[in-house]
Amino acid sequence: MNNRLRVLRAERSWSQADLAERLRVSRQTVNAIETGKYDPSLPLAFGIARLFDQPIEEIFFPDGGLPTPTRSRPA
């Protein structure tokens, strides 16, 4: 699984340690997620999505894929 975590983190000028503190995980875990060596659990993935205020599918996507564009929901 790929993700845009590094990009999102860089946009906010956060270090890996900053992000780790916000997510209450270790810096090593953030690094492993960013490099694709570790896929987070659903609760952690949802926590990341909530932190960046983005849908989960715009942050995490399958290998070789692209983030799913968000569609506006019908009213």
The site for other proteins (CB under 8 A) is made up of: 17, 20-21, 24-29, 31-32, 37-38, 40-41, 44
CB of 2 to other proteins, least distance (A): 17
User: What distance in Å separates the CA atoms of residue 44 and residue 64, rounded to the nearest whole number?
Assistant: 22
Residue closer to other proteins by CB (options 37, 73) is 37
CB of 44 to other proteins, least distance (A): 6
DSSP 31-47: HHHHTTS-PPPHHHHHH
5 neighbors 66 (Cβ within 8 angstroms): no
Residue closer to other proteins by CB (options 41, 72) is 41
Residue closer to other proteins by CB (options 28, 68) is 28
